[in-house]
């Protein structure tokens, strides 16, 4: 059985929700509608490799891995600059980095997966 490398992130979704609610009510917006959830077991196998690299601190296959993700699209919850970092999830057969990424948020230790180059994100649920 494979154990998630960031098992210490149990309750990350609850912590994120609490953080969002502390500041007041959270209104549904088109951007927030693009954030769903995905079970850890439903990720593509290459995402496990990326999560393992994140947990061990690299080395990463691409120079862009670990850089600040600016959330320019506004799909993820608003956070200060530098909060999010992005990592490549390799796409078999692609001659480029492809469109798949893991984006991490450090304070609440959440991990998001996108398969469509930041158009939509799924919060990774390590409990299923």
Positions marked active-site: 86, 117
Q: What is the DSSP annotation of the chain?
A: -PPPTTGGGTTHHHHHHHHHHHTS-----HHHHTEEEEEGGGS-HHHHHHHHHHHHT---SSTTTTEEE--TT--SPP--TTSEEEEE---TT-SS--S-EEEEETTTTEEEEESSTTS-EEEEETT-
8 Å CB contact between 122 and 111: no
């Amino acid at each position: 059985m494979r154990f998630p490398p960031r098992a210490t992130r149990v309750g990350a979704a609850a912590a994120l929700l609490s953080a969002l609610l502390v500041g007041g009510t959270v209104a549904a917006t088109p951007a927030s509608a693009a954030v769903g959830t995905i079970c850890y077991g439903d990720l593509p196998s290459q995402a496990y490799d990326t999560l393992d690299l994140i947990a061990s601190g690299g080395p990463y296959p691409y120079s862009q891995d670990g850089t600040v993700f600016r959330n320019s699209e506004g799909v993820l919850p608003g956070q200060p600059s530098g909060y999010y970092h992005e990592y490549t999830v390799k796409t078999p057969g692609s001659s480029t980095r492809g469109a798949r990424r893991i984006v991490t948020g450090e304070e609440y230790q959440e991990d998001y997966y996108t398969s469509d180059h930041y158009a939509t994100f799924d919060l990774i649920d390590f409990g299923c």
